[in-house]
Structure 1
Amino acid sequence: MSQAIKETNFQFPGQQGFYKGKVRDVYIFEKELVVVASDRISAFDVVLPKPIPFKGQVLNQIAAKFLAATADIVPNWVAATPDPNVTIGKRCEPFKVEMVIRGYLSGHAAREYKAGKRMICGVPMPEGMKENDRFPTPIITPTTKALEGHDEDISKEDILAKGIVSAEDYAVLEKYTRALFQRGQEMAAEKGLILVDTKYEFGKYGDQIFLIDEIHTPDSSRYFYAEGYEENQEKNLPQKQLSKEFVRQWLIANGFQGKEGQQVPEMTDEIVDSISDRYIELFEKITGEKFQKAETNQLENRIEKAINAYLSK
């Protein structure tokens, strides 16, 4: 069993703050953020009790690859990735919305559709669709960025009316979101995949808008396998997915959906290893590259040394 990072508690010179997200540990400096992708895993808004070896490395390296591959579309926050689990970059002021874009009627949109709704976030959905059908044009369905609890659906009209984002900035966010999604879909198609839906987060550094956080990872995106997609739709069969949906399905099968009074099922070493293997498989399928496992002896020590080396430059 490889070591895994459940949490980090570093103290760096010049550090001004610390924020622990569901998966990331964020060290805050005056003009920079140091983000450690831990091996924590969350589902149904609950962080599961055991970390998954190599999960943080998988997400960090997929995000780094896609951020680099889209830097010609929109500037992003990344300055360096000094360790397989670490990204360092600009401390942007985040917009308080997440830009969710959907190419297909899946997930939350499909559940709303099934409940009889034909409007999501102020955007109409055509009649006569079935789950996992492609939208005529991808739709943007923003959510509010909740510090705690669930993000909530919101319409463009509400965002502008409430002054959450200015009309001028929102037009730029929409333009970037569509261009990034198109690039993501093209890159997925090259690997025999369909990028179904995803989310982007943006922030400002000075007056300039930057893409922040991760993009096109299996934690923030849904992928289908292109092979068999049409046939499955014709036969009303579920699509073969490449996302962390398999973790949710395992939890549901064992009686857990994050509801009050429910217990997280026991995460045996076998289960933990199988989730780790799936994440590595996701990395290789999405990037087309062989996954190189980083050294896990003295894992935290390795990460701390890499960050200190960068900061001392």
Structure 2
Amino acid sequence: MSLADKVLAVNNDLPIRTDKPVHSGKVRSVYWLTEADSRRLIEEKGYDVAADAPLAIMVISDRISAFECIWHGEGGMRGVPGKGAALNAISNHWFKSFRENGLADSHILDIPHPFIWIVQKARPVMIEAICRQYITGSMWRAYSKGERNFCGIELPEGLTKDQKLPELLITPSTKGILEGIPGVPAVDDVNITRANISDNYEAFNFKSVDDITYYEKLLKEGFNVISDALADVGQMFVDTKFEFGYVTDSEGQEKLIYMDEVGTPDSSRIWDTAEFDQGNVVENSKEGFRQQLLNHFSEPDILLNKNRMDERLALAEHNALPTSVLMSISETYLNIAEKITGEKIVLSDNPKAEIVEILRNDYNLID
């Protein structure tokens, strides 16, 4: 079996029983279960959700996205070996830590296989909740051009690239295109201020103004739980993105939860502490892949300039990356997952067959 065969690249063609279209994102595909199957599983498995809560099977893939494109490699490699299992293992670990630290639940109800989650439908808060401990990335690019107000936060003079910030900062952006909010452009992923959110909390799907304070608490406390644990394994938690939503539990109580993924190399920057102390930034996250792409292509502006999206998509489609690039990303993801979880990630020879067997035998979800 070739290495390419071990990569789960296509994850929207599984024979999972559903009466709705399969929703495919850049990395995950979501299969909404029928109402009958959702009710049956809630009863059989004793999930702490409302009896009529819609459930879904969320299947991760090994695809790698960057600069809003999906990339592939030589020899039919349509993804990164081990990436999907590593991402899920890391998220599972942090969600468990959050519960143990009394923070909040997640959308995940069950983990039948390293590649899949059974999740409950949540009403998402329309915010990419970003937390920053160091000045780098888009914040540094803005600062280096003279901007001192970032998401409504006044930054002091004299900061240098990759420096630790005076305090942990929340710098939110929009999730999706939101229409009719004063002062907020109707484009995806635009920076917003806390005042934008509190003045228009319902437009962002918050139930109350108080829940804005609660989301900030969950964001900061979640960040600190991860940061402290990473410090114990010689890593720095630089910045990250969380997402939140509302669900209803089995007693009819609506509650704010963590959703999507948390603290992964896809959603965060993670740096090696020993290297940083020597003056070097060594990325243990997808940021390293982004830098490789910028160095690999002769015209990096195509990757950075949103006005050149057609060229960027063509670049991703028509250029197979060297196998060595994808394998270095695989090593990064597997190594950081094993550091975080303390367990080795075992690559499956045939993840699709395993998923189908488990969902057929243990969950009766395969026709």
Question: Residue in 1 aligned with 2:184?
Answer: none
Find the residue that maps to 1:204 and give its secondary structure.
Answer: strand
Matched, 1:307 2:362: no
Contact 2:284 / 2:333 at 8 angstroms: preserved in 1?
A: no
Q: Which stretch of the first structure deviates more once superposed, 263-272 or 172-181?
A: 263-272
Question: Residue in 1 aligned with 2:228?
Answer: 186
Matched, 1:287 2:287: no
- In the superposition, relative to structure 1, how do residues 157 and 300 fare at CA in structure 2: closer, same or farther (>3 Å)? same
Give the alignment partner of residue 46 of structure 1, picking from 65, 69, 77: 69
Find the residue that maps to 2:343 and give its secondary structure.
Answer: coil
Matches within 5 A, 1:131-146: 131-146=161-176
Deviations 1:45-90 (A, max 9, x none): 1111321121111101111111111112111121111111111122
How high is the TM-score relative to the length of structure 1? 0.90
Find the residue that maps to 1:303 and give its secondary structure.
Answer: helix
How high is the TM-score relative to the length of structure 2? 0.78
Percent identity reads: 29
Aligned counterparts of 1:278 and 1:239: Cα–Cα separation in 2: 14
Question: Residue in 1 aligned with 2:311?
Answer: 261
Matched, 1:296 2:334: no
Matched, 1:122 2:152: yes
Question: Residue in 2 aligned with 1:220?
Answer: 267
Aligned counterparts of 1:137 and 1:66: Cα–Cα separation in 2: 22
Aligned counterparts of 2:132 and 2:158: Cα–Cα separation in 1: 17
Question: Residue in 1 aligned with 2:24?
Answer: 20
Question: Residue in 1 aligned with 2:41?
Answer: none
Contact 1:23 / 1:40 at 8 angstroms: preserved in 2?
A: yes
Q: Which stretch of the first structure deviates more once superposed, 89-98 or 281-290?
A: 281-290
* Counterpart AA for 2:331: D
Question: Residue in 2 aligned with 1:4?
Answer: 7
Contact 2:82 / 2:345 at 8 angstroms: preserved in 1?
A: no
Question: Residue in 1 aligned with 2:49?
Answer: none
Contact 2:284 / 2:332 at 8 angstroms: preserved in 1?
A: no
Contact 1:191 / 1:288 at 8 angstroms: preserved in 2?
A: no
Deviation at 1:17, TM superposition (A): 4.1
Question: Residue in 2 aligned with 1:160?
Answer: 198
Question: Residue in 2 aligned with 1:235?
Answer: none
Aligned counterparts of 1:147 and 1:292: Cα–Cα separation in 2: 39
Give the alignment partner of residue 104 of structure 2, picking from 64, 74, 80: 74
* Counterpart AA for 1:280: L
Deviation at 1:274, TM superposition (A): 3.1
Contact 1:15 / 1:27 at 8 angstroms: preserved in 2?
A: no
Question: Residue in 2 aligned with 1:34?
Answer: 57
Question: Residue in 1 aligned with 2:87?
Answer: 59
Contact 2:239 / 2:269 at 8 angstroms: preserved in 1?
A: yes
* Counterpart AA for 1:287: T
- In the superposition, relative to structure 1, how do residues 268 and 226 fare at CA in structure 2: closer, same or farther (>3 Å)? closer
For structure 2, the 5+ residue unaligned runs are 36-53, 73-77, 179-186, 249-253
* Counterpart AA for 1:291: I
Find the residue that maps to 1:197 and give its secondary structure.
Answer: strand
Aligned counterparts of 2:231 and 2:8: Cα–Cα separation in 1: 33
> Which runs of at least 4 in structure 1 moved beyond 4 Å after TM superposition?
147-150
> How many residues were matched structurally?
306
Aligned counterparts of 2:163 and 2:344: Cα–Cα separation in 1: 32
Deviations 1:269-294 (A, max 9, x none): 3433333223212222333332222x
Contact 1:59 / 1:217 at 8 angstroms: preserved in 2?
A: yes
* Counterpart AA for 2:360: N
- In the superposition, relative to structure 1, how do residues 23 and 168 fare at CA in structure 2: closer, same or farther (>3 Å)? same
Aligned counterparts of 1:41 and 1:197: Cα–Cα separation in 2: 20
Aligned-CA RMSD value: 2.1
Aligned counterparts of 1:249 and 1:229: Cα–Cα separation in 2: 17
Question: Residue in 2 aligned with 1:197?
Answer: 239
Question: Residue in 1 aligned with 2:125?
Answer: 95
Find the residue that maps to 2:225 and give its secondary structure.
Answer: helix
Give the alignment partner of residue 274 of structure 1, picking from 328, 345, 365: 328
Find the residue that maps to 1:261 and give its secondary structure.
Answer: helix
* Counterpart AA for 1:296: D
Aligned counterparts of 2:67 and 2:245: Cα–Cα separation in 1: 26
Deviation at 1:230, TM superposition (A): 3.9
Aligned counterparts of 1:97 and 1:289: Cα–Cα separation in 2: 33
For structure 1, the 5+ residue unaligned runs are 233-237
Deviation at 1:187, TM superposition (A): 0.5
Q: Which stretch of the first structure deviates more once superposed, 182-191 or 162-171?
A: 162-171
Contact 1:105 / 1:132 at 8 angstroms: preserved in 2?
A: yes
